[in-house]
Amino acid sequence: MARTLSDLTYSEGNITSGKCTGCGQIFTASSSVALAFHENPECRLVGAFGGHECTPTPSNPVAQR
């Protein structure tokens, strides 16, 4: 599955948050997932995104009649 970070926000020229286009998960430079990676907050965010298991969100089921 092709995925990327979208809806990026920046602070002082560094990425502070982004959203996975594949599953919609939000990544922030201060998230607990990101803290497991590098010391630089932006590197933590990108590392967390790159290392996550992307599971697409299911579409809304069509109501049956």
Binned average pLDDT, 10 residues per bin, the chain of 65 residues: 89 90 89 53 86 72 53
What the block records as the tokens of 31 is 């998230």
List, in sequence order, the alpha helices (H) in 1-65. Answer: 41-51
pLDDT for 21: 93
pLDDT for 25: 93
pLDDT for 42: 85
pLDDT for 31: 54
Domain chopping of the chain, boundaries: 5-51
Amino acid at 34: A
What the block records as the tokens of 53 is 């298991």
Alpha-carbon distance of 33 to 12, in angstroms, equals 22
- Kind and range of the H or E run holding 7: strand 5-11
Alpha-carbon distance of 47 to 45, in angstroms, equals 5
pLDDT for 6: 94
